[in-house]
Structure 1
Amino acid sequence: MPAGNAQNIRSLLKQISIEDDETVLRVCNEALKRSKTDLHAQHTKVVALLRLDRYEDALRALDEYGDDMKRKASLGYSYALYKRGQLREAVEVAKYAAASASEDDERRGALHVQAQASYRAEDFANAATIYQGLFESPRALGNEYNDLRINSWASEAQRLWQRERDSARARKPEREDLETFETCYNVACASLARGDLKQGEILLRRAKELCKTAEDLPEDLKESELLPINIQQLYALISQGKTEEAEELVKEISVDDIPEISVKRIAQNNILITQHLNTNPYILYKTFHDAPEPEGNDQFFKFQSEALEANSHALDLEVQKYDGVIRSTTKALAQRPYPSTEPNDNLLSIYNAAARVRGQTNRKSIQELRSLLDRRPKDIGLVLTIVQLIVGEGNTTSAIDVLESSLRSLEESISEADQEVRYNPGLLSVLIALYQREGRKSHIKSELAKAALFWRQQTQQPPSLLRAAAASLLHSSDPADLAISQGLFSTLRNNNPGDKFALAGYVASYATSDLEKVKKELDILPRSQDLVSDIDAAALESAGVPQSQASLAANAAAIAGARKRASKEQQHARAKKRIRKSRLPKDYDASKTPDAERWLPLRDRSSYRPKGKKGKQRAAERTQGGIVSEDVSAKPQQPQPQQKTAASKKKGKR
């Protein structure tokens, strides 16, 4: 084709305005038949393919046209990668597109793609950072502003789901966030992720009402928007145990109308949970595994896939596929880090243990699991399973021994990963809860002090554990413990100056040793009079003073003792009633008090009075330790009669 004709086609493509993307694509193909190296036609064709949602064809064309076209169409290239599920590559290309963009609109578009790809790749911190930067730009106007609010709240909720963000520092919703159903829905998801199920359910109901009453939303779109809200509300109801309300809500969910396979699978899973009590487990198993798996960009997030995997193992146990569960979980655990505090890894250990003992929880099963623990002493999921079973039998001391033994093996290890597991906040909370049940206060302070010293040397410090350790050591009489508490409260205050708990603890820790150091902070704290100004002391007194745990325990022991004594008295009373009448004296009178000396012989009783002179004399003679009168002379001993001898018998009268 002559160069002049190719130039004419390029000029034509620049000048014409074609709204039909299929027509644009056809014109570009005709131009490329005449000149395969026409960059403008190549670029236009890629854009047309993207507008037609033919992302795979667009990627194929970009690979054919080479790296120069990929750089020229970097924004479209990153978007095509994102839509095809190649998320890491999409993030890198979008980052390049944003850096090399000549216009602000193009740069902002690339940042949106980078944030979306980061979100789908579960890099929620990066997505939140990008959205925050776009928020602060003065160009965030119109629909873009609403999209930024929606997407930023979605990133916040995901960070809470993945435990990447401390609940104490979670973002607080503003009034504007609760005025549209999209942002209200994402705020509700954040509440559910924090564990505030009741608040999440309330916000979901509000989001549903806002969606139903939205005037600018067509009815068909309302139905599609209500589906995810209903599915999330179903989860909230199930988690709260509101089975009847969940069963009613299921009637509003049409699984067949859900276009995304991932969302459809989650909806079906939640519906099966509401039906598991009334449905044959084999039918549940078949229905669960017949559902298709999502593909491409439509994928589960990590916490969703882990929950579905756990439900799959639970159904396997329901249909008694114990050997299969043992094989699959053992293979999966061999590929996971050991030891691990990840919830999914520990769930695998729990299902593995349940399959080995066939779902039994008796003492024989506990002994079998303890034998398994001897081979895997650092298996946290297995340790916690055994502890739970032993506590269920009421033997807290043995449960503490098992947990302490596993923690000791971790503490003796030279691996830094093992040390982090040893002082994991969740694991320590289990041990401290067991100590509290037995009143081992010194053990609690010792564990918190060791954990605090360990985490203060790490870059990533768990605020919840530091807060608990600082508060516990604050009440210690040991100066060393108080010094640790001072250091912890100082760290907490520096990390979050607005934390009132840290400020109050900081003041309290130095109040007895260096009051001048905290004089300035003391003035910031609210006065005690202001804190109790709205409290009705008379009403509190009339309602009664709540007792401490020690008082409650003492009262419980006293009540138990009283019941025990009452029980003995009742048993004694019942024993009295069982005496047969034939064994009672003829003159027995129940109204009279029995003689305490009735078991003694008559002459040994204090009421015995002998009759006659001889009787009184014999009584006096039997008196032990009594005074013997001197006028009573001893009688001479009567001689015994002599026996006659043989000689005397022969001797006759003279």
Structure 2
Amino acid sequence: MSKDANPKEALIKAAYADVHKFGTNQEFDKAVKAVNRILGVAPDDQTALHCKVVCLMQLSKFDEANKFIEKNRLSSVLIFEKAYCEYRLNKQLQALKTIDDAGVQPLPAKLKELRTQILYRLERYEDCLDAYKEIIKNSSDEYEDERRTNLSAVAANLALDKEKDVLEVPEDTYEQYFNSACIQSNRQKYVEAERKLRTSEKLCREFLEEEGASDEEILEELDVIRVQLAYCLQQQGKIKEASVIYAECLRHKPKDAALVAVASNNSVVINKDQNVFDSKKKIRAAMAEACEPKLTSRQKQTIALNNCLLALYTNAGDQVQQLTQKLTQSYPQVEFEALLIRCSQLANDKKHKEAIEQLNKFASTHKTHEFISKFAIIQLHLLQGNRKDAIETLLSLGEAKYKPGIVSALVSLYLGTDNKPAASALLKSAVEWYKQNNVSSGDLSDMWRQAAEFHLRGGASETAASSLEELLKLKPNDMKVLAQLVIAYAQFNPKRALEISRKLPKLETLTTASEIDALEAANWVMSTKAAKKTANAKVEPSPSTPATEKKKSGNRKRKGKLPKNYNAEVAPDPERWLPKYERTGFRKKRGGARAKDIIKGSQGMASGAADQYDMSNRANLNKNSPATPVYQEPAPGPRQQHRKGGHKKKKGGRF
């Protein structure tokens, strides 16, 4: 070996020793410098190139590592490292292509697990589930619990599809309890999910305390569980409890961007049209770029939709139009929801005609949303007071107009326009349609009952009878329906009425003999007060009560005395009870004023004011004096900041 080669080999050997030492101590910055010394003298050293890529990955410099791999043409050699860098750079499709194009069969264990994780990020949950099942089946090492936890996370996402069966997942660790709770919440079983989450929270605290984790680490792990718990509480209507948990979590400023996004978004949902400034701040946090790679497409879609609704609540017309268009471009599956938000804003701006045109255009091209679109159009017609247009739109629904709810709406609108014949005709046609098509969807008893009562009031006994017949099929033991049917048939078919009346229970079965005697003995002419007195008078004392004689009243009614000059043949003076100055023939000695001009009532009060201030006249109580303000309870609105010192308390009195 030449003398020139010895210093080079010595340098490489010393540099590798440094790389090993720094790597063991996790000082990867120094390790990169040591590798660079090797590459300075041996630029094609494959081991040194590999070491540098690993060091850059450990420093989370994935972009630099990926570029270094491509620059040195190491893609075919460092397949795992390149795919992992692309995975961490959120280039999931490119990472999957890197693994699949490598042509390595069978895939090594680490590449297989990385590919499965990429499938999870791509939301290909069914493929991911099959891959995890195969990995768990063919491996047995210390990472088995982690794989089973990942498997339960996949099952939780698959649980969103209610038509698919849910995989039974183990519940050995707090993570597995958490994922099991997510499965239950995605199946809308929030009470069961809450129970599992509380168990997960308890296990998590105990496990991390045993591991010697710091309070900050424990709090960070618990926040994930508690935010999911708050969601379950929110879905159960326990809004205050959920709101407190969200606020507490955000106050901790968690490092997990996805956690911040979910808590912020759910807080905005709770606020609705209240605390708008707080909601704007939180929706910006939920839509930050750092949250983008951490959220699923479903979560990002929900946050974007809530952002549009928040703009609608703030009545920002231009912003609503821009955001809904952007939402439609990013998530075409919620195009109809975006259209409804846009039309709601147009309605707020009194542009009902434009909103109706957009809905009609959408309904003509999207038949799946035609039904709901027409209901939105009906709402816009009613906001303008156009009942006739609303009726025409409902009638254009075809056979769907015979649904009970739509029939009820049409009858109400017909009666609102004083068109009773049209309402009667609609009910008749609805009855005939259900008979001809033999449709039995849901409970139609309310519709048949309303139709029968409407036709009975209108005198259409035959139509009423057919409706009652259908109602009787649904409720054969309803005696009220049977009685109504007898009344209806009695008006046009007495024989049928008599036949049906035999099915009614006999009077003896409905009332007892004592009740009949009481009804016959009752004096219906007497008032309620007199009847009570009579009933009390007839109560016989119990045997234990000693009988006492009723005392006679000491005040005897005396005969009235007649005046000495009383003449029975002459009618008495009708004004005999009035004072002399109020009688018709009375005249003052001075001035000759009539009695009606004399001031009556309290001193200094005009005669015209007597009625106004007469408290016995109850009609005056219903009229508000102009000087008396009527207090109205203010409608709830957004909170306002009170000025400091706005109210001062008077000494010795009230505010």
TM range (shorter): 0.5 to 0.7
Decide whether the 8 Å contact of 1:91 with 1:114 is kept in 2: yes
Shift of 1:276: 4.1
2:597 matched residue in structure 1: none
Which secondary structure does the structure 2 equivalent of 1:70 belong to?
Answer: coil
Aligned AA for 2:188? G
Aligned AA for 1:221? E
1:243 matched residue in structure 2: 239
Query: Do structure 1's residue 145 and structure 2's residue 144 form an aligned pair?
Result: yes
CA–CA separation in structure 2 for the residues paired with 1:357 and 1:553: 49
- For 1:41-80, list aligned pairs within 5 A: 41-66=48-73, 69-80=74-85
CA–CA separation in structure 2 for the residues paired with 1:168 and 1:443: 37
2:372 matched residue in structure 1: 384
2:136 matched residue in structure 1: 135
CA–CA separation in structure 2 for the residues paired with 1:254 and 1:241: 21
1:646 matched residue in structure 2: none
CA–CA separation in structure 2 for the residues paired with 1:548 and 1:71: 79
CA–CA separation in structure 2 for the residues paired with 1:65 and 1:432: 73
Shift of 1:372: 3.6
Decide whether the 8 Å contact of 2:156 with 2:183 is kept in 1: yes
Query: Do structure 1's residue 300 and structure 2's residue 295 form an aligned pair?
Result: yes
2:640 matched residue in structure 1: none
CA–CA separation in structure 1 for the residues paired with 2:392 and 2:168: 44
1:170 matched residue in structure 2: 166
Which secondary structure does the structure 2 equivalent of 1:116 belong to?
Answer: helix
Q: 1:245 to 1:335 in 2, by over 3 A?
A: closer
Task: Please point out which of 34, 52, 59 is paired with 1:27.
Answer: 34
CA offsets 1:553-592 (integer angstroms, 9 cap, x no match) = 9678679999x9xxxxxxxxxxxxxxxxxxxxxxxx9979
Task: Please point out which of 261, 268, 271 is paired with 2:257.
Answer: 261
2:336 matched residue in structure 1: 346
Decide whether the 8 Å contact of 1:231 with 1:267 is kept in 2: yes
1:187 matched residue in structure 2: 180
Q: TM-score normalised to the size of structure 2?
A: 0.55
- For 1:563-642, list aligned pairs within 5 A: none
Task: Please point out which of 332, 353, 357 is paired with 2:347.
Answer: 357
Further displaced range: 49-58 or 432-441: 432-441
2:191 matched residue in structure 1: 198
Query: Do structure 1's residue 109 and structure 2's residue 110 form an aligned pair?
Result: yes
- For 1:149-548, list aligned pairs within 5 A: 149-161=148-160, 163=161, 166-173=162-169, 177-214=170-207, 215-216=210-211, 218=213, 219-250=215-246, 252-276=248-272, 279-289=274-284, 293-295=288-290, 298-330=293-325, 332-333=327-328, 342=333, 344-358=334-348, 370-376=356-362, 377-379=364-366, 380-381=368-369, 383-387=371-375
Aligned AA for 1:30? R
CA offsets 1:380-437 (integer angstroms, 9 cap, x no match) = 55742543786999999988755559x99xxxxxxxxxxxxxxxxxxxxx98997999
Shift of 1:316: 0.5
Q: 1:222 to 1:28 in 2, by over 3 A?
A: same
CA–CA separation in structure 2 for the residues paired with 1:160 and 1:431: 33
Q: 1:217 to 1:357 in 2, by over 3 A?
A: farther
CA–CA separation in structure 2 for the residues paired with 1:559 and 1:322: 58
Shift of 1:153: 1.2
CA–CA separation in structure 2 for the residues paired with 1:442 and 1:4: 104
Decide whether the 8 Å contact of 1:135 with 1:148 is kept in 2: yes
Decide whether the 8 Å contact of 1:95 with 1:110 is kept in 2: no
Shift of 1:204: 1.5
Q: 1:548 to 1:23 in 2, by over 3 A?
A: farther
Task: Please point out which of 83, 88, 91 is paired with 2:88.
Answer: 83
Q: Which runs of 5+ in 1 are unaligned?
A: 409-429, 449-467, 469-546, 565-588, 593-654
Shift of 1:141: 2.4
CA–CA separation in structure 2 for the residues paired with 1:310 and 1:292: 11
Q: TM-score normalised to the size of structure 1?
A: 0.55
Decide whether the 8 Å contact of 2:286 with 2:303 is kept in 1: no
Structure scoring higher RCO (CA < 8 A, sep ≥ 6) equals 1
Decide whether the 8 Å contact of 1:387 with 1:402 is kept in 2: no
Decide whether the 8 Å contact of 1:188 with 1:203 is kept in 2: yes
CA–CA separation in structure 2 for the residues paired with 1:8 and 1:548: 103
CA–CA separation in structure 2 for the residues paired with 1:359 and 1:99: 62
Aligned AA for 2:232? A
CA–CA separation in structure 2 for the residues paired with 1:316 and 1:275: 13
Further displaced range: 309-318 or 375-384: 375-384
RMSD (CA atoms): 4.7
CA–CA separation in structure 2 for the residues paired with 1:443 and 1:182: 58
Shift of 1:282: 4.1
Query: Do structure 1's residue 124 and structure 2's residue 98 form an aligned pair?
Result: no
Q: 1:109 to 1:373 in 2, by over 3 A?
A: same
Aligned AA for 1:91? L
Shift of 1:131: 0.8
Shift of 1:46: 0.7
Decide whether the 8 Å contact of 2:56 with 2:65 is kept in 1: yes
CA–CA separation in structure 2 for the residues paired with 1:556 and 1:373: 45
CA offsets 1:196-233 (integer angstroms, 9 cap, x no match) = 22222222122111112213361433211111111111
CA–CA separation in structure 2 for the residues paired with 1:297 and 1:283: 21
The structure with more helix, counted as a fraction of residues: 1
CA–CA separation in structure 1 for the residues paired with 2:291 and 2:272: 31
Aligned AA for 2:321? I
Q: 1:129 to 1:43 in 2, by over 3 A?
A: same
Give the paired residue count.
425
CA–CA separation in structure 1 for the residues paired with 2:355 and 2:473: 34
CA–CA separation in structure 2 for the residues paired with 1:229 and 1:28: 43
Decide whether the 8 Å contact of 2:66 with 2:86 is kept in 1: yes
Shift of 1:318: 0.7
Aligned AA for 2:85? A
Decide whether the 8 Å contact of 1:181 with 1:210 is kept in 2: yes
CA–CA separation in structure 2 for the residues paired with 1:216 and 1:354: 54
Task: Please point out which of 16, 37, 62 is paired with 2:44.
Answer: 37
Percent identity over the alignment? 16
Q: Which runs of 5+ in 2 are unaligned?
A: 410-429, 443-470, 489-522, 527-655
Decide whether the 8 Å contact of 2:292 with 2:300 is kept in 1: no
1:519 matched residue in structure 2: none
CA offsets 1:277-314 (integer angstroms, 9 cap, x no match) = 6x432442344236661349833211101110111011
Q: 1:79 to 1:202 in 2, by over 3 A?
A: same
Decide whether the 8 Å contact of 2:220 with 2:254 is kept in 1: yes
CA offsets 1:167-196 (integer angstroms, 9 cap, x no match) = 4511133xxx22311011111112222222
Shift of 1:148: 0.9
CA offsets 1:255-294 (integer angstroms, 9 cap, x no match) = 55311323212212223333446x4324423442366613
Decide whether the 8 Å contact of 2:324 with 2:338 is kept in 1: yes
1:506 matched residue in structure 2: none
2:571 matched residue in structure 1: none
